[in-house]
Chain A
Amino acid sequence: MSPPLLEVRDLRIRFFTEDGEVRAVEGVSFDLQEGEILGIVGESGCGKSMTALSIMGLVPEPGRVTGGEIRFKGRDLLSMAPDEVRDIRGKDIAMIFQDPLSSLNPVLKTGFQVAEPMLAHQRADKRRALARAVDLLRQVRVPAAEQRARDYPFQLSGGMRQRAMIAMGLANAPSMLIADEPTTALDVTVQAQILDLLRTLNRETRTAIVLITHNLAVVAGLCSRVIVMYAGQIVEEGSVFDLFERPQHPYTWLLLRSVPRLDRTRPERLRSIEGLPPDLIAPPPGCRFHPRCPFRIEPCFTEPPPLQEVGPGQRAACWVTMRRAHEEMGAATLLDVRPGAGSGVHGPIREPHRG
């Protein structure tokens, strides 16, 4: 296998707030191959967006990358000068954002905004960049592209705005596109169109895509490999098929279980995961998921589990893993998923020291 396009190693991001240091991302490592579509899933605040922004060098104040490496084509982005990163930004790595209306400048014409990455990297003069912007809009299937290029963002529909964002991302034919919740602000039919477009673009241009979402259906439909994040850490990683078929981390398992199914004949209750994500200023000791985990055992309270191989190409950070939970704790028939319900370990073994 050729060397990966992007290697993230032991990434750490902290937010220095008045209440204390928020450990938003702790020890995240993953690879992205050329032309691959990688999904990163997790709840709001699990650090998935911050991981993406750190690749772009755009972590907002008061956040800072405090450790790790982000190697893009073998070069560490974190040790580069700001101007060098800026040169990669929008040219080799592009990013599109969640809400296409607020992510487009309201006072500039759509065509110009699509052309801007080319101008920023001196790829074309203004006239040619604007002409190419119309081509790009056509490529992302914006109808009447010439007319739309002259419109302002507020004159476009939600789907068209996101298409324009994607066109903007593709302007300099990047080798990697980060899509941060690209369909969340759109209605369902438009979501499907946008995902379809991303898939086509990936096939046609071989642009690698990092897709960040909390929507498991989006991941299932588009990605080849998935990373599940919880409380700033990767809890599970694997191919979409393995992960959906045989999730090994209880969080992934609960996440998949909480997706409402329409193909059941009898209506059932909506299942959720008990409890709330932890406070990242003082994260729980041991496994960060243990306060909500139905299968926790004693080491979970004290020892952080390493991310280890649980199957071919699948890794999970769990002392128990779902294989054992199924075999010993009857996970499949478990109705009560309150913390400790499966394993019978309810309270902390040792009082965790806080602060």
Chain B
Amino acid sequence: MRWRGTLLYIGQRLLLIVFTVLAVSSIVFIGIHRLPGSVFVSERLRASQMQALLHQYGLDRPLWEQYRDFLLGLLHGDLGISYVNQGVRISPLVGREALVSAEVGALALLFTIGLGMLLGVLAAIRQNTWLDYLFTSTAVVGYSMPNFVVATFLLLVFAVFLQRATGGMLYYQIGWTGTFGSLGEISIPAFALGFPYASVVARLTRASMLEVIRQDYIRTARAKGLPEQLVIVRHALRNALIPVITILGPLVIGILTGSVVIENIFGIPGLGKEFVQSILNRDYNIVVGVFTMYAALVGIANLLVDLLYPLVDPRIRY
């Protein structure tokens, strides 16, 4: 039937994701344990105390034994416990942090696609007018600025200038009040994260629209006597979307990795912040856990993007 091929395809991809995640976590696990020094190196302990601690956490065992235990845990979805914050279980921790990151990432993606496509389409249908020039030059600024510059600039505006201007009534507070951010809290980081990519999407949409509106089938649509808006939305936009979806995969990965920088600037308790913190702490299990989670997110995001193709272009079937 129609859906059997698709389901089979999803199954294959999920299996691939499992293997990728396993490979990534293994490489990171072995790599990080081979680094000189250890978790407790900053605690200035005497040799005997250090030995006792290592023993307590089982870190003095041979590497292959630790790796075997790690793999057994991973198969049960258990990533072990934190060495630095004693007693904290890692799986629920990175799970929650991944949700926080996904929340910001999803809104960033919405900015990227929504804003990018809107500006791209408007620029294309108003080609060579001031609107086109404005949007095109904004896009050039957008993708030539790294996201940390955009983030810092937005902080300056919203957390500093706006606070002064409104006497503290309206401003952006760095950091999170609850476990998950409110819309006000996530929208500015999400914008900073998505803006450079929105520029890329805007440029691509513009170019793709300009190509599509010169196609014969657009002339056919006009020859039918369709109103111009319908010609653009129904006939041009859907076809112009196809190349945009092609770059969605790399784009989602860009947003995921970009979150490492953004979360640290805005103090967001997500996977990206944990990523940096855990490496600084040499909290081995968390480092491995964060990497594992990132690998899974990238895999799933790419799968979702690929599943979008046949929805937009009927010539693609799995």
Contacts and interface: CB of A to CB of B under 8 A. Distances in A.
B89 interface: no
B217 A106 contact: yes
Interface in B222-251: 222-227, 230, 234-235, 238-239
A58 B224 CA distance: 11
Interface string A42-68: 000000000000001010100000000
Interface of A: 56, 58, 60, 86-91, 94-95, 97, 99, 102-108, 116-117, 120-121, 152, 154, 165, 168
Interface stretch (B13-21, B110-118, B309-317): B309-317
Interface residues of B, number: 21
B225 A91 contact: yes
Nearest to A172: B225
Nearest to B127: A61
Contacts of B226: 86, 90, 116, 120
Contacts, number: 73
B314 A152 contact: yes
A83 to B, nearest CB: 9
Interface in B264-287: none
Nearest to B241: A107
Given A107-B239, A107-B313, A107-B314, A90 B215 contact: no
A104 B217 CA distance: 5
Contact of A120 (B217, B227, B313, B315): B227
Contacts of A89: 222-225
B43 interface: no
B215 to A, nearest CB: 7
Contact of A105 (B220, B222, B223, B225): B220
A168 B313 CA distance: 22
A105 to B, nearest CB: 4
Given A86-B227, A90-B225, A105-B221, A99 B216 contact: yes
B164 interface: no
B126 to A, nearest CB: 13
A61 to B, nearest CB: 9
Contacts of B238: 107-108
A88 B225 CA distance: 7
Nearest to A151: B314
Nearest to B238: A107
A105 B239 contact: yes
A103 B217 contact: yes
B55 interface: no
A58 B217 contact: no
B216 A106 contact: no
Given A105-B235, A106-B315, A154-B315, A120 B224 contact: yes
A168 B239 contact: no
